[in-house]
Structure 1
Amino acid sequence: MRSSRHRPATTSPAEQRAPRADIQGLRAVAVLLVIAHHLFGYPAGGFVGVDIFFVISGYLITTSLLHRADNGRPLLWWFYRRRIRRIVPAATLVLVATCAAAYPILAPHAYGALLIDAASAFAFVSNWRFAQQGTDYFDAARAPSPVQHYWSLSVEEQFYLVLPALVAIAGVLAVRWARSPQTRSARTRTLLAGITLGPLVLASFGYAVVAGRSNSTGIYFSTFARVWEFGAGALVALTAAAWARLPARTAGPIIWSGLGAVVLGVVVAGRGGNFEEWALIWPVLGVALVIGAGIGRTPSSGYPLPLYPLTNRLSVYLGDISYSLYLWHFPIIVLLAHEIDRGPWFAAAALASMLGLSIATYHLVENPIRYSNWLEHRHDRRARTQHQRAGSFRPAILAAAVLVAVAAGLVALDRGSAPPPQPAAAASEELPFTIDGPAELQLSAQVDAALAATDWPNLNPSMDAAIAGPQAPADIGACSTMPVPPAAECTWGSAAAPKKIMIVGDSVAVTYVAPFRRIAEASGGRWQTRSVAAFGCTFVTQTVVGPNSGMAAECPAHKAQVVAEIKKARPDLVVITNSYRQAWNADTNRIMTGEDWAAGMQALTDQFAGSVGRIVFLAPPPLANDISRCFGKTATPAACVGTIDTHWTTMAVAERRLADRIGAAFVDSRPWFCNAAGRCPSFVGTTPVKRDQVHMTPGFAELITPAIEERFSTAGLIP
């Protein structure tokens, strides 16, 4: 006789109906990872919490479908009724509340985009909308949609349009082919479902890994690229009988190995500068192991090893409210950032409000509707009324009210406190702040006036239009593609001009083209300007990971073509400009340092240095604040004053050193955007300065053209 410690664990009927404590604990881990990632930026791989949810969901939904099919009950309409009751009410409440709360906060263009985002989220197609827009989930420099996190709900519901039908078809075929008692029919159905789902899981994973190499942004939101994660949970459900037969001495190590794999997955997924689907194999496998080895092992039967971190009452309760927490956390973080600066008060207010609203939503909306008779069939209605619900929710509602009140108090306290002190002057011996002539002096006076403004002037264009507008004039934008367009289409000034300027670099260089076009056109036939700059292609030798991996794939050939065009044209001046935003070097798998940057730049300039008159490194606009984040109906000019990012200064110093080393010139852009103390306004005169954190507006490019020409002339670059 087998020892009792080797027998499969059994569960009571009550335990079979109750949620598994370890799975609720996994849900708590998942939602806390996501919240920490979005609120603190740490852990960097915290976004895998969504993938944990996908595996759990695949397991639970498949389990319920199999149980329903085993009893010979109608499947499809029953399933969709449950999904509607479980998902739609709370999701709709948060969408409506987010749109209402955002109205007095967001600028008109951002609010209009939010309404479209909310409509796509309500229809469960928001992942397709964000993929079509080229949204980069990991781009922290752009203000995200307050409902961007609904992409995961959309993926989930799209998958569940297919899974119930698959189980139902497998059940029909099993009954026909088995010609045997119900138990054999059920086994045949399970086998058929597994045979169908297994290849689908492999195909989905293979597609995600291969397609993700050229389109990581789009793949992140792809439905089919996520099927394998749901499928992993579903396969655990299909093999539940085998999992339940595991002896405790085997199940215990498997569970802890699974938890270790989840931790490893968080670390590995957070190491890269770009999303890579293969890294998700660890958290997905880990969660599948924890769920599978825990089948049949309940508090009464005894878990194989102490799982207190997952099964304690706090973890279980956080797992219970994890859906509401997930719904509320992101709009709170995004909208609160428009009202108060990030810091300890921000984090405390965000946590208190998301926890309070989630508790209230769970007890007042989510659970009552979930266990109501709404949309229920007569038979299930009688059974459902016998469901044992949790105890009184009055203490929870009181706690929710207190938490929301605390959050409101923290926001008021932060808004009433003094603004943080500004940093010291953003200048050094290697990067002195200088003003060269009357045009820059006049611009500097306008910068100081803007910094002192207490009210928004009548901007032209409006800040809202500037944020939503293009990075450059249409004809210049058309010249900023890969491969390099014909020279005749992207050259301005006299065709017979004896002097030539070529503009090289990424999208920041594109925004500088208009001033040099104006300089050439006003030069009396002495200069012509040609652009070979391209959106999404940083002009360094390294492979720089950016938000658009499709553009990045074309970048090496484009850079080689640019070098060839420079050698052919032999210009008098090559002006090189790239964004100084932190860039991930895919060749070394690390953030690019100033030394890396200078080495990568020199490797390219060495190829054409003998074919040009002079090389100029023109610094991009300083990385200050992101106007698309700070600007809104309640924002003041002071709220949108930025300070220069230290990484920008590091890269500028590296380029200046490189210029000195190779006999090139370095032109500092700070006097056109900021004062000597490194404070940068969001408008100058009546012109918005930037449309995001990186790119200046076309109107501001026109405004600073005299200052650019003056500095280049004073330096002897365009005599």
Structure 2
Amino acid sequence: MLTLSPTRTDATTGSGATRRADEAGHSATSAPTSKAAGFYRYDLDGLRGIAIALVAVFHIWFGRVSGGVDVFLALSGFFFGGRLLRTALTPGSSLSPVPEVKRLIRRLLPALVVVLAASAVLTILIQPETRWETFADQSLASLGYYQNWELANTASNYLRAGEAVSPLQHLWSMSVQGQFYIAFLALVFGFAVAFRRMLRSHTRTALIVLLAGLTVASFVYAIVAHDADQSTAYYDSFARGWELLLGALVGALVPYVKWPMWLRSTVAVVALAAILSCGALIDGVKEFPGPWALVPVGATVLFILSGANRMADPHLASVDGRLPAVSRLLATRPFVSLGSMAYSLYLWHWPLLIFWLAYTGDTRANFLDGAVVLLVSGVLAWLTMRFVEEPLRLRAAASAAAASAAAAKPKAAPVTPLRTRLRRPTIVLGSIVTLLGVALTATSFTWREHMTVERKNGKELSGLSARDYPGARALVDGARVPKLPMRPTVLEAKDDLPISTTQGCISDFGNVDVINCTYGDPNAPRTIAVAGGSHAEHWITALDLLGRMHHFKVVTYLKMGCPLTTEENPLVMGDNRAYPNCREWNQKVMPRLIADHPDYVFTTSTRPWNIKDGDVMPSFYLGIWQKLSDAHIPVLAMRDTPWLVKDGKPFFPADCLADGGDAVSCGIKRSEVLSDRNPTLNYLAQFPLLKPLDMSNAVCRQDECRAVEGNVLVYHDSHHISATYMRTMTPELGRQMALATGWW
């Protein structure tokens, strides 16, 4: 997704004007054939075509990251940043950022608005209403160019793990580029205004040194952020900045590169081979934006340099021996044509793929389905380029050319025929796009307001009638279940959380501090420490009620996705990404627990198998039991509640119910998630202070774990019990704890 039109660059000075502006003016000529006339890197258009083909193919058929987006980022930095640097460093050139901002808006927003509007319609038609708020949030984030931060927040939010893949997820790179463009404009023009006269001949050197320093700093930050939390760093603008900055630096230095032909040819072949093989050899989903991102970005930089100061015209490619053979190949019309629609194709292919998968219920497209998605994406991309992008861009270019001509010849009054032909239809087109953008924004805010009202209604959930909404009591006590609508509703479910979550009493992914909050009876002499991950935390709702009833306090020692464990290399449950902060937190929390010496530690004792049905007590829990046993601290060992998984991925019952499913179809077979015998029971002889708790029969029936029991939705996401259902489990939990503790 290279988001700026290509640039015709003077071969000796590097100063440039857009090719399309030249085409719009009457003085434009055919492609230049000498250094005096300048040159245009058509081979980079071809490289852009290769990159979008890799992105689409790997997304559609392989579910992998190809490195094509990183190629786009480097090329964007080269075209935009390089041209901006040359402009700012040219004496007498305009340093006003306004024309550039207008150009960016005309180039980027129209196609984006069209795709977002189409995606909004498809979201309403295909996806359940539980997904509409996420789409509204992300469409606003995409229009505001902060979608990458929206996705980074989702990636770091354990409670949103397992959400359906967003049809707008790919727009994170658009946001990174948009933020880079504005920041780079401010930095370069601000530097030039402040120092161009002061530094004079040294301005270029000073600015390049500054940008080189920023590039290195961004790269180092990317490595650190990647090691700390790769899934969040993937969307981090600061961790991606070096990819664009490196392209910009190359754009400033490219006029000075003079390589012998044999070296150019070798470098071009190696660079293209690296780009083509990147997706197959490197798992970019896990490795980018760390050091391995140097492969696609470095290869792009080398390819740019291999053709530096050499002309690449598709009409002359066959006879221009000054350009490497690979570059001449990419400068041919098929590759250039594909590159010209790369932006639109990038916008279209991902949402069409996601909507197709949502419609069919498949997790991956087969060859035929993928081919259809790719074909439709290509057609829509060409139509968008031809009837949305180009008319508005050509109108802007014609206006710029007319303004330049008027400035050069003030007395020449007549308006150019091209400008006259473009004015009326582009005004209509621009108005339509603007109305679409306004309608999309208004609709998104309206739905968000509707969800705010739903959340206010959800506050009454704590006071639901036990007779009308028996929940777990229908399973445990055989309570009668009247015919009433389910609560929480599918729209209320997302926010039906334990109070500890809303009060920030659980450390998030990036936090390794031990956070203590007190519930139950804060003045009671007896203490139960709730320790571990969110699957220990979601019992807070019931424990708080029991603590107030039976006079004990509940103190939290919690971290998202992090059970008490001695594991050296813990992984995030569900997506298996490295979680080093979990190990560090465990190293802090265990000494604290032992020093505080609560009467009991309440924590989970099992986890689902990753490789087969049922659940297991992991071996890396045994060290925890031993440490607590040595400290004479008894453990209330709660068997973990089932995780809902289909086709190897978590699913949300609320989404399933909103999409027409029922309590059974939106649940899971008990045998898939729970073993016949609680695995904790196998270790009671080894650890006498281990007190097993098992609430499985309050969640699941004999053969199945349904999505709804006793008119209450069991889960608020794919694996956390809703606070409303947890309240209905309080009596049974109290019965089991009374037997384990003897307190009442």
TM-score (norm 1): 0.71
| Distance change in 2, residues 1:658/1:495 (3 Å) | same
> 1:135, CA displacement in angstroms?
5.1
CA distance in 2, matches of 1:446, 1:460: 19
Answering whether residue 564 of structure 2 is matched by residue 539 of structure 1, we say: yes
Is the counterpart of residue 226 in structure 1 residue 240 in structure 2?
yes
- 1:306-333 CA deviation, whole Å, 9 max, x = no partner? 4699567655443322211222233334
Show the counterpart of 2:434. none
Residues 29/700 of structure 1: CA separation in 2 closer, same or farther (3 Å cut): farther
Identify the residue that residue 340 of structure 1 maps to in structure 2: 360
1:46-195 matches, within 5 Å, as 46=66, 48-65=67-84, 74=94, 76-105=97-126, 110-131=131-152, 141-164=162-185, 190-195=204-209
Query: Are 2:394 and 1:371 aligned?
Result: yes
CA shift for structure 1 position 528: 6.8
User: Is 1:569 matched with 2:592?
Assistant: no
Q: CA deviation at 1:121?
A: 2.3
Output one character per residue of 1:598-625: Cα deviation in whole Å (capped at 9) or x when no partner. 2321222221124144562512332334
CA-CA distance at 1:691 after TM superposition: 2.1
The 8 Å contact of residues 541 and 601 in structure 1, kept in 2 or not, is answered as: yes
Q: For the Cα contact (< 8 Å) 1:104–1:634, is it kept in 2?
A: no
Report the alpha carbon displacement of residue 55 of structure 1 after superposing the two structures with TM.
0.3
1:7-18 to structure 2, matched below 5 A, reads 13=32
Partner of 2:339: 319
CA–CA distance in structure 2, aligned partners of residues 138 and 239 of structure 1: 47
- Residue in 1 aligned with 2:295? 282
- State the SS of the aligned residue for 1:459: coil
**Cα distance, 1:440–1:251 mapped onto 2, change above 3 Å:** same
Distance 1:222 1:545, change over 3 A: same
Distance in 1 between residues matched to 2:210 and 2:613, nearest whole Å: 49
CA distance in 1, matches of 2:664, 2:44: 44
Question: What is the rounded CA distance, in whole Å, between the counterparts of 1:73 and 1:634 in structure 2?
Answer: 58
For residue 472 of structure 1, what is the aligned residue in structure 2? 498
Paired with 2:586 and 2:472, the residues of 1 have a C-alpha distance of 35
Q: State the match for 1:689 in structure 2.
A: 714
One-letter code aligned to 1:203: A
Which sits farther off after the overlay, 512-521 or 573-582?
Answer: 573-582
Counterpart among 662, 666, 684 of residue 637 in structure 1: 662
Counterpart of 1:409 in structure 2 is none
Verify the 8 A CA contact 2:81 2:245 in the aligned structure 1. Answer: no
CA contact (8 A) 2:138 2:168 kept: yes
Q: Is 1:620 the counterpart of 2:641 in the alignment?
A: yes
Partners of 1:228 and 1:286 in 2: CA distance: 14
Given that 1:269 and 1:276 are in contact with CA atoms closer than 8 Å, whether structure 2 keeps it comes out as: no
TM-aligned CA distance change 1:509 to 1:137, over 3 Å: closer
Residue deviations 1:150-207 (CA, integer Å, cap 9, x gap) = 332222122222434555577779985899xxxxx8xx76545423322221222233
Give, in whole Å, the separation in 1 of the partners of 2:616 and 2:274. Answer: 33
Instruction: Give yes or no for contact 2:613–2:672 (8 Å, CA) kept in 1.
Output: no
Q: Summarize the Cα distance change of 1:540–1:256 in structure 2 as closer, same or farther, 3 Å threshold.
A: farther
User: Structure 2 residue aligned with 1:292, among 305, 310, 322?
Assistant: 305
RMSD (Å), alpha carbons: 5.2
1:361 aligns to what?
384
Equivalent residue of 2:361, what SS?
coil
Asked whether the 8 Å contact 1:269–1:280 carries over to 2, the reply is: no
Q: Secondary structure at the match of 1:239?
A: helix
Structure 2 Cα separation of the partners of residues 145 and 29 of structure 1: 25
| Correspondence for 2:488 among 461, 467, 486 | 461
Amino acid in the other structure paired with 2:220? G
Describe the shift of the 1:254–1:350 C-alpha distance in structure 2 as closer, same or farther (beyond 3 A): same
Instruction: Point out where structure 1 has 5 or more consecutive residues left out of the alignment.
Output: 1-7, 180-184, 388-437, 451-455, 583-590
Letter in 2 for 1:600: F
Q: 1:35 to 1:628 in 2, by over 3 A?
A: farther
In the TM superposition, residue 362 of structure 1 has moved relative to its aligned partner by 2.0
Is 26-35 or 166-175 further displaced after alignment?
A: 166-175
Q: Kindly indicate whether the alpha-carbon contact (under 8 Å) linking 2:563 and 2:604 is maintained by their aligned counterparts in 1.
A: no
Say which SS state the counterpart of residue 71 (structure 2) adopts: helix
Tell me if structure 2 keeps the 8 A contact 1:254–1:293. yes
1:364 and 1:639 map into 2 onto residues whose CA distance is 48
Residue 502 of structure 1 deviates from its aligned partner by 4.2
In structure 2, relative to structure 1, the CA distance for the partners of 1:594 and 1:440 (3 Å cut) is closer
Could you say if the C-alpha distance between residues 52 and 710 of structure 1 is closer, same or farther in structure 2, counting changes exceeding 3 Å?
farther
Which residue does the alignment assign to 2:349? Answer: 329
Q: Which residues in structure 2 correspond to 1:392-431 (within 5 Å)?
A: none
Identify the match of residue 254 of structure 2 among 240, 248, 259.
Answer: 240
Deviation at 1:63, TM superposition (A): 4.5
Q: Is the contact between residue 265 and residue 280 of structure 1 (CA under 8 Å) also seen in structure 2?
A: no
Q: Which amino acid aligns with 2:558?
A: A
Name the residue aligned to 2:584: 556
Distance 1:265 1:282 in 2: 7
> Map of 1:579-658 to 2, 5 A cutoff?
580=608, 598-610=618-630, 611-613=632-634, 616-624=637-645, 625-627=650-652, 630-631=655-656, 634-637=659-662, 641-643=666-668
Q: Higher mean Cα deviation, 321-330 or 334-343?
A: 334-343
Q: Specify whether residues 711 and 207 from structure 1 end up closer, same or farther in structure 2 by C-alpha distance, changes over 3 A only.
A: same
Residue 478 of structure 1 and its aligned partner are, at CA, apart by: 5.2
- Relative to structure 2, which stretch is displaced further, 292-301 or 372-381? 372-381
Structure 1 residue identity aligned to 2:243: E
Cα distance in 1, alignment partners of residues 418 and 583 from structure 2:
64
Q: Deviations over 1:437-465 (max 9, x none)?
A: x9989429999x99xxxxx9722221111
C-alpha contact (below 8 Å) 2:500/2:506 kept by paired residues = no
Letter in 2 for 1:202: V
Question: 1:308, 1:714 → 2: CA distance?
Answer: 80
**How far is 1:287 from its partner?**
1.4
Deviations 1:540-597 (A, max 9, x none): 1234355999996476345543454257536466432576597xxxxxxxx9999998
What is the rounded CA distance, in whole Å, between the counterparts of 1:249 and 1:319 in structure 2?
27
Q: 1:432: which partner in 2?
A: none
State which drifts further: 701-710 or 288-297. 701-710
2-side partners of 1:502 and 1:28: how far apart? Answer: 58
Q: Is the 8 A contact 1:134 1:548 kept in 2?
A: no
Helix, strand or coil for the counterpart of 1:575?
Answer: strand
Determine if the alignment matches structure 1 residue 698 to structure 2 residue 717: no
**Which residue number in structure 2 is paired with residue 393 of structure 1?**
none
Residues 479 and 581 (structure 1 numbering): CA distance in 2 closer, same or farther, change over 3 Å? Answer: farther
Deviations 1:88-107 (A, max 9, x none): 11012122222333234555
* Identical residues among aligned pairs (%): 22
- Aligned positions, number: 631
Structure 1 residues 27, 612: closer, same or farther in 2, change over 3 A? same
- Distance in 2 between the 1:308 and 1:646 partners? 61
Instruction: Give the equivalent residue in structure 2 for 1:206.
Output: 220
**Which secondary structure state, in structure 2, belongs to the residue aligned with residue 253 of structure 1?**
helix
Change (3 A) 1:536 1:441: closer
Q: Closer, same or farther in 2 for the Cα pair 1:194/1:675, shift >3 Å?
A: same
TM-score, with length taken from structure 2: 0.69
1:433 maps to none
Q: Shift of residue 54 of structure 1? A: 1.0
Aligned match of 2:475: 443
How does 1:491-530 map onto structure 2 within 5 Å? 491-492=520-521, 495=524, 502-519=529-546, 530=555
SS state at 1:372 partner: helix
